């Protein structure tokens, strides 16, 4: 599920969800803020793949593992 495959398109994969989340991290945000932005984008159909909150957490763990994000004082920010 991390990588897209024959039966999982890019937006359904954690890699695709991670790229979406990185695009939303233009400033440090809490997980709740990002979840609210994602829910709003889903309701407006700006993002087509539905993910659970667990997938959000797994995607942040993945992004943290590849040093794409970091956290400080409960806020997540994008690494340069």
3-state SS class at 34: helix
Structure tokens at 25: 């991290």
3 has a pLDDT exceeding 80 = no
Interval 11-53: pLDDT, tens: 889 999 999 999 999 999 999 999 999 999 999 999 888 999 9
Cα separations (Å) of 26 from 5, 31, 37?
29, 14, 12
CA distances 76 to 24, 50, 56, 67, 71, Å, are: 11, 21, 13, 12, 4
């Amino acid at each position: 599920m991390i990588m897209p495959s024959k039966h999982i398109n890019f937006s359904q994969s954690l890699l695709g969800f991670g790229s979406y989340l990185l695009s939303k991290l233009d400033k440090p945000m809490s997980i709740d803020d990002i979840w609210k932005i994602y829910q709003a984008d889903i309701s407006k159909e700006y993002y087509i793949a539905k993910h659970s909150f667990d997938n959000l957490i797994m995607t942040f763990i993945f992004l943290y593992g590849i040093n794409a994000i970091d956290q400080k004082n409960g806020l997540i920010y994008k690494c340069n």
